[in-house]
Amino acid sequence: MKKLLLIMVFATFVAINYQTTSNNSIKQIMLTMPTIKAELPETINVQPDASQFEEQTDIAAKEAMNNMQKRSLYLNLATDYFDLDKPKATAAEYAFFRHYIANSTGPILEPMCGTGRYLIPYVEEGFNIEGFDISPFMLKALHTKCAEKNITPHVWEQFLEDMPTTKKYDLIFIPDSSFSLFLKPEHITICLQKIYDLLQKGGVFIFDVETIYAVSNDIGIWQGKTYKKPDGTVMLCSTLPLPIENSVATYVHRYELIDRTDIIKTEIEYFQIKLYYPTEMDTFLKEVGFSQIKRIAAYDHASSPAAHDYTIVYECIK
């Protein structure tokens, strides 16, 4: 682009010719517009980079879609059903994660803490644990239970990938295979990188994931389960496992709150989890910087995973 752009504006000569026969004289009036010279900036981006704009738009759209999908999990009825179906962790899982908590010498964080079925009893034992979750319904249930028990843990609403890294933690743990809710490779890497950055040097990250062998045998078959609530209403959950696609298991959950013969409220949830091949997660962990990685059989410190285990636990040290 030229440094100077010369703009020449010409007005068409306007000639007004008056001829008068009395004096045999001709009067000519010519009006001419002046030449205009304008100096423009040295560089002007007259044609935006369309590919860059499309890339930024695509990234924003993907982020919005990811957030929307995550927000669609664990709504009101789903949260109620979760607490009815899984009010407490199993004894083996609780003891397994407690081992790391008891041996931690610094701040402890539980991302994706849900309704607090791990966090609350650990806090009741006297451990100082922080937590966050993206579901306001689950956090509301957690705070209600904390109020009943007169405890006040530091818990807040937060996306893992947006978590500030100003505070560092000695231990981060994610139980219940909740990390399997991250489906896409790029999203998995972002979240693992965030966890790595949140750890102190020598800090530990402990979590579990589902494997490709944890596939339902009832693909395409509806199943149901009900629980009676204290107020006499009934919570019904109907589940339809769909075929596995790209190592992602999808379940359609239909939650219904029933009062005698009336359906008071219904929620539909598309629940998806990533299923991992036995050593697939190792690659992700090494990519973000973890060098000390240990695979453990589900909730047994003394055992390594078998070839076709449904669940693998990872212990990672920064």
Contact between 222 and 238 under an 8 Å Cβ cutoff? The reply is yes
Give me the pLDDT at residue 71, please.
54
Which tokens belong to 192?
A: 């693992």
- pLDDT at position 72 is 63
**Is the CB of residue 256 less than 8 Å from the CB of residue 277?**
no
Q: Are residues 97 and 201 in the same domain?
A: yes
Angle between helices 280-288 and 185-198 (to 10 degrees): 50
The full DSSP string for 30-71 is: EE-PPP--B---S----S--HHHHHHHHHHHHHHHHHHHHHH
Within a domain: 203: yes
Domain co-membership, 208 together with 66: yes
Residues 251 and 140 in one domain: no
80 and 183 co-located in one domain: yes
Say if residues 20 and 51 touch (Cβ distance below 8 Å): no
Whether residue 238 sits in one domain with residue 109: no
- For 43, other C-beta atoms within 10 Å of its C-beta total 8
Look up residue 299 and give its DSSP letter.
T
Q: Are residues 251 and 233 in the same domain?
A: yes
pLDDT for the residue numbered 73: 79
The total of structural domains in the chain comes to 2
Only one residue has tokens 């919570």, namely 235
Q: List, for residues 47-70, the tens digit of each pLDDT value.
A: 444 444 344 444 444 444 444 444
Return d(Cα 195, Cα 64) in angstroms, integer.
Answer: 22
Res 74: pLDDT: 86
Range of the domain at 252: 223-264
206 plus 227 within the same structural domain: no
Are both 125 and 236 inside the same structural domain? no
Q: Is residue 47 part of a domain?
A: no
Judge whether 5 lies within some domain: no
Instruction: Indicate if 72 and 163 belong to the same structural domain.
Output: yes
**Same-domain pairing of 171 and 295:** yes
Would you state the structure tokens that stand for residue 19, as one six-digit string? 């001829």
Same domain, 245 and 293: no
> Among residues 176, 211, 118, which one has the least CA distance to residue 299?
176
What are the angstrom distances between the C-alpha of 57 and each of 47, 71, 205, 301? 17, 21, 34, 46
In a domain, 19, yes or no: no
Which residues of the chain have a pLDDT value below 50?
Answer: 1-70
d(CA 55, CA 273): 27
Q: What is the pLDDT of residues 94-103, one digit of tens each?
A: 999 999 999 9
- Smallest Cα–Cα separation from 172: which of 192, 156, 154? 192
Could you tell me if residue 92 is inside a domain?
Answer: yes
| Sheet strands (E) in the chain | 14-20, 25-31, 108-111, 129-133, 155-157, 169-174, 199-210, 223-228, 234-241, 248-259, 262-274, 292-297, 311-317
